[in-house]
Structure 1
Amino acid sequence: MITRNPMSRGERRAVLSLALLYSFRMLGLFMVLPLLALYATDIPGATPMAIGLALGAYGLTQAALQIPLGWLSDRVGRKPVIVAGLLLFALGSLIAAVADSLTGIVIGRFMQGAGAIAGTVMALAADLTSEEQRTKAMAIIGACIGASFAIALVIGPLLAAAGGLSLVFSVTAGLALIGVAVVVFMVPKPPAAVQVPQTVQRGQVLAMFASPALAPIYFGVFCLHYVLMASFLVVPAAMEAELAIPRDAHWQVYLPVLFLSVLGLLPLMRLGERYGRLRLAMAIAISLLLVSVAALVLGGGMLVYWVALVAFFAAFNYLEATLPSLVSKQAQPSLKGTAMGAFSTSQFLGAFFGGVAGGAALSVGGPVGLAIACVLPGLLWLALLVRLEPVPGANRAETA
């Protein structure tokens, strides 16, 4: 249960500045999500498989580098790693902005992923907050990620209508550079004792993925972003083709849908946090996610589409906010950077395989194949939810 004690002034500054940093970075990534499957079809040689690779490419390099950079941040400090990652992300965005082929976009997306700092940012948030405030801090950052998702879905189509994918990637590079300024001038310096923890052994990293406390969380975030990437291979195109909504007007759908999704998000948060029924809240959210994505992929009319979009975003935003706070609670204090790196590795592997496997399923089996490819991993996630260990400090309702 979240403590009622207020954050200190320093904790508030740390959390808000890191939430701002994370939001700028994720805003750039999320803006491409509703656009790439639409605009890439105008590029010669585009196929569902190639578009899926372009959509998920950044996830592969993100996944490969999250743990090494998390480990490096445990050795040399969080801030240098974060600044270097933001600069690589900006470079990849510029490469994609000037690309005149799908291959160039894929290369830029791979370079974007090389700035793999998500785990390090989360670890820094844990460094700068007390144990009793950590869940609240992670929830605030998660909520800001959700807000950046909402903003991206609105302004992305507007930017693309004005200047295509090139303008979207250019703005993404600019946001990354603003993020560097946030790190340098706004984010507090973590305590020296936190910056030089003990050396992490390879066996400890592997043990995290097999840990009963962490493995269900890692698999969960993999599934969440797998489903997100795979579903957006068809959602924007369906809005344009089946619902007859012009691509530059898609924001007029996303804006009210995301606002309405808050009505579903709040009860889930209340159930999971105030009443301590975390497993039940997560099970409801996962079920909503799977049913809604099946409806979105298979179609069913205007009303079904709107209801499915609201349910999808309510479930996604709840799970996106909940999972990182669970990792911060379960990980050993000296291994937080590495644990969050493993979490982000799982997250971005999900994004990569969601794009690639989703593109392959769409090519082979059409919408039905894509729906099956999305639902099966989610059902396994539901089955593994029973292995989720109680969070330290959870109330009796959750541990009963």
Structure 2
Amino acid sequence: MPISSRGALVSLCLSMLLASLGTSIANVGLPTLAQTFNAAFPAVQWVVLAYLLGITAVIVSAGRLGDRLGRRRVLIAGLLLFAVASTVCGVAPSLNGLIAARVLQGLGAASMMAMAMGLVGDTVSKERIGRVMGLLGTMSALGTAMGPSVGGVLLSLWGWHALFMVGTPLGVLAAALAWRYLPVDLPHARVPGSLWSPLKAAPLRAGLAMSALVSAVIMATFVVGPFYLSRGLGLAPEWMGLAMAVGPGVAALTGVPAGRLTDRLGSRRVTLLGLSTLLGGALLLSLASGLMAYLGALVILTCGYSLFQAANNTAVMSDVDASRRGTVSGLLNLSRNLGLILGTSALGAVFAWASPDVIHATPESVTLGLHVTFSVAVGLIVLAAAMAVCRIASVTPPLNTR
């Protein structure tokens, strides 16, 4: 069913914003949580990982459920669960209780993310999918930017509880908008056959794998960044939040232009351009020393991410049958969240290995951890670029030779 109301589009954008806010707002509080609960870095990592695992566990199922029962219903249910879980997070008496509540919050966010992207094909024509994907990318980046900046202020004024309680009124507002403006949709009939054709299987797998690798690199900035800015550079929580918001703020500004560039130049060219820019940003982060060098590298990295996301999402979603959009959107978000988990756990482990005992680490030790982490990230981007080249070759017909 076509979505004509601007209010409906606003509800989809707000859903995407809240899902990303749920990830980034917790990262800025990791040093405080480690101190409050007297926990080591691997323990407080689970505040982030639990949310991501909750999303990962059900996001494909949420997409399929939306295809069968109606995407509007599943979206509203996810928003309400997100709001309730945010309250439970805010009143959690222990680290284990907070981690459990974050799993529930992630379950709600899974429906929000899958349905927001799944409804894009019902919103605009195929020729404008890149533009709307860029808009949703902007909302995701804006939520990511709001997390560190707003979170830093909330943390300094009311403590870590406020980081999670802010999701309650926003989740209720988004659910009200979705109920008011999204039309009641009928479930699509089940379509026999495989999810995608054999001709698209290899390009789709490449797109999902690249999304995971790039997301891992971006997530490393939110796991390592707070420790480098606070322990390595000595920034106060509110200034740390503002510094961490620079990269996502750039993504919020470049998401829509990246989508338009994708519509104009095509997803293949923009994918390679984005990966090249990401590579440059990661290389600079592996050498950065000082606030301005760090922020400059972060800006470059995030510009590359905006270009890649708009192009890769468009390439994956453009030719999907209407009855399968929720499912494929779930797969795309699953790959992204697997990458976020990889960035939090694996790249976080690299940082912890290079800079042990982060609570008492010296600025030099934390800086070394930053450099080692993003040296590994460079390798991940190179691997993603190789996949992009192989994907282009797999869908490009060979030239006729005489």
On whether the aligned pair clears a TM of 0.5, the verdict is yes
Partner of 1:197: 189
Partner of 1:67: 60
User: Which segments of 5 or more consecutive residues in structure 1 lack a partner in the other structure?
Assistant: 1-7, 395-400
The answer to whether the aligner puts 1:23 opposite 2:14 as a matched pair is: no
* CA offset digits 1:262-290 (Å, max 9, x no partner): 787788666544333x4343233223334
- Contact 2:53 2:106 (8 Å CA) reproduced: yes
Structure 1 ranges of 4+ moved more than 4 A: 207-210, 254-271
Out of 152, 156, 160, the residue aligned to residue 151 of structure 2 is: 156
CA distance in 1, matches of 2:36, 2:204: 42
The answer to whether the aligner puts 1:55 opposite 2:48 as a matched pair is: yes
Q: How does 1:297-336 map to 2 (within 5 A)?
A: 299-336=288-325
Partner of 2:328: 339
* CA offset digits 1:177-200 (Å, max 9, x no partner): 21111110122334x4xx323256
Out of 90, 103, 107, the residue aligned to residue 96 of structure 2 is: 103
* CA offset digits 1:64-113 (Å, max 9, x no partner): 21111111111111111112222222233223212243322221221111
CA distance in 1, matches of 2:56, 2:172: 22
Q: How does 1:1-400 map to 2 (within 5 A)?
A: 10=4, 12-33=6-27, 35-115=28-108, 116-117=110-111, 118-190=113-185, 192=186, 195-199=187-191, 204=195, 211-254=201-244, 272-276=262-266, 278-296=267-285, 299-366=288-355, 367=369, 368-389=371-392
CA RMSD of aligned residues (A): 3.2
The one-letter code of the counterpart of 1:357 is A
CA distance in 2, matches of 1:80, 1:343: 21
Tell me how far 1:339 sits from its aligned partner: 0.6
- How many residue pairs end up in the alignment? 379
Q: Secondary structure at the match of 2:124?
A: coil
1:267/1:127 Cα in 2 relative to 1: closer, same or farther (>3 Å)?
A: closer
* CA offset digits 1:130-170 (Å, max 9, x no partner): 33333332222222222333333321211111112210100
Q: Secondary structure at the match of 1:134?
A: helix
Tell me how far 1:322 sits from its aligned partner: 3.5
Structure 1-normalised TM-score? 0.83
User: Which segments of 5 or more consecutive residues in structure 2 lack a partner in the other structure?
Assistant: 356-368, 397-402
CA distance in 2, matches of 1:263, 1:13: 21
Q: Structure 1 stretch 265-274 or stretch 111-120: which is displaced more? A: 265-274
CA distance in 2, matches of 1:93, 1:375: 35
The one-letter code of the counterpart of 1:150 is A
Q: Structure 1 stretch 158-167 or stretch 24-33: which is displaced more? A: 24-33
- Contact 2:225 2:244 (8 Å CA) reproduced: no
- Contact 2:131 2:259 (8 Å CA) reproduced: no
1:310/1:210 Cα in 2 relative to 1: closer, same or farther (>3 Å)?
A: same
Q: Secondary structure at the match of 1:244?
A: coil
Tell me how far 1:340 sits from its aligned partner: 0.6
Partner of 2:365: none
Q: Secondary structure at the match of 1:227?
A: helix
- Contact 2:66 2:74 (8 Å CA) reproduced: yes
Q: Structure 1 stretch 148-157 or stretch 331-340: which is displaced more? A: 148-157
Structure 2-normalised TM-score? 0.82
CA distance in 2, matches of 1:254, 1:302: 11
Q: Secondary structure at the match of 2:159?
A: helix
1:343/1:258 Cα in 2 relative to 1: closer, same or farther (>3 Å)?
A: closer
The one-letter code of the counterpart of 1:96 is C
Partner of 1:4: none
The one-letter code of the counterpart of 2:345 is V
Partner of 1:3: none
CA distance in 1, matches of 2:53, 2:245: 30
Tell me how far 1:376 sits from its aligned partner: 2.7
The one-letter code of the counterpart of 2:195 is Q
- Contact 1:269 1:281 (8 Å CA) reproduced: no
Higher relative contact order (CA 8 A, sep 6+): 1
- Contact 2:13 2:116 (8 Å CA) reproduced: no
CA distance in 2, matches of 1:91, 1:386: 44
- Contact 1:21 1:183 (8 Å CA) reproduced: no
- Contact 2:270 2:311 (8 Å CA) reproduced: no
- Contact 2:254 2:306 (8 Å CA) reproduced: no
Q: Structure 1 stretch 338-347 or stretch 243-252: which is displaced more? A: 243-252
The one-letter code of the counterpart of 1:306 is L
